[in-house]
Amino acid sequence: MNILIIENEIYLAQSIASKLSDLSHNCDISSSTKEGLRGTPYDVVLLSTNISGQDIYPVIEAYKNAVVILMVSYVSNDTVSKPLAAGAKDYILKPFMIEELIRKIQHFQNHERLRRQNQTYERYLSHTFNSINMDEDLDKVELPLFICSGYQKYADAFAFRYAAHHDKTLQFISLSSVKAFSDIAAQNDDAILFITDFQNLKKSEHKPFYELISGKKCIVASTDPIDNLPFKVIEIESESHLFDQGEILPIEEYVKYIMIHFQNRFPDTELSKKLGISRKSLWEKRKKYGIVKKK
């Protein structure tokens, strides 16, 4: 990281810079706020608030896109409260252990990494679901809810849009996981659960699953039709519309789709023949994709 240290106590500034440099950070030192306004971008600015007669606010404004950490000798409105309100991110009280300063820097470093990562995910999801139109009034949809769609992307789009519309965190759980039931039980009530692969559950597991999610805020997705459910069901589209999306599936995705949706309708001998592969290859692909054949 590129770090600017604005501190008129040169020995202190050099000591901080030396220890941060040992951790592979690039450090510059300025002894005044005017000198610190050098126009160079920094990731972190360590700003002393007790440089006599100097205004720290132009520095906070100039580096509003950086993490500004105040180095203060005492806590007051002028040294902490007002600078934080102006855009500084945190403060540390002198004298301090360098480990505490490093902890603060790493905290904001991780925060920035996660912020950028979330932005990337949000852009990707927005792009992925952009072509999917839905008519459901998200204010009137009550949970728990089951979504039946032969095209998993439709259920995904509904779940992410519902969570965003209600400003809630979405927690993803696949029923293909051996820990799925315990993960569902451990989730707090504040998040919305998005549970997929209901079609992989055995019929003997349906009743325990219904009891587990009763009263929980969850959206359950199935690529197979479901009968006699004790919860509201939305059928977004039928599987016959899968290829009406203007997309061409890769061969592996096509084989996987056919196996998931038709393995319970055809015996393995006939299914492998339709796919043009051997029964052994069909078994190997089922194992590779983690597809459970219902009995």
Cα 19 off chain centre by: 33
What is the overall mean pLDDT for the chain? Answer: 87
How confident is the model at residue 132, as a pLDDT? 79
From 176-190, 235-249, 274-288, the region with the lowest mean pLDDT: 235-249
Closest CA to 201 of 185, 218, 224: 224
How confident is the model at residue 238, as a pLDDT? 46
Whether residue 252 has pLDDT greater than 80: no
pLDDT in tens, 166-178: 999 899 999 989 9
Whether residue 188 has pLDDT greater than 80: no
How confident is the model at residue 245, as a pLDDT? 53
pLDDT in tens, 130-162: 877 777 888 888 899 999 887 788 899 999 999
Q: Choose which CATH entry (3.40.50.300, 3.40.309.10, 2.60.120.260, 3.40.50.880) describes domain 145-243.
A: 3.40.50.300
How confident is the model at residue 249, as a pLDDT? 64
Per the CB < 8 A criterion, the answer to whether 170 and 163 are in contact is yes
| Average pLDDT, integer, range 238-257 | 62
How confident is the model at residue 247, as a pLDDT? 59
Whether residue 240 has pLDDT greater than 70: no
Helix runs in 166-219, H state only: 180-186, 203-213
Whether the predicted model's global pTM rises above the 0.75 cut: no
> Is domain 2-116 classified as CATH 3.40.50.2300?
yes
Per the CB < 8 A criterion, the answer to whether 160 and 184 are in contact is no
How confident is the model at residue 239, as a pLDDT? 44
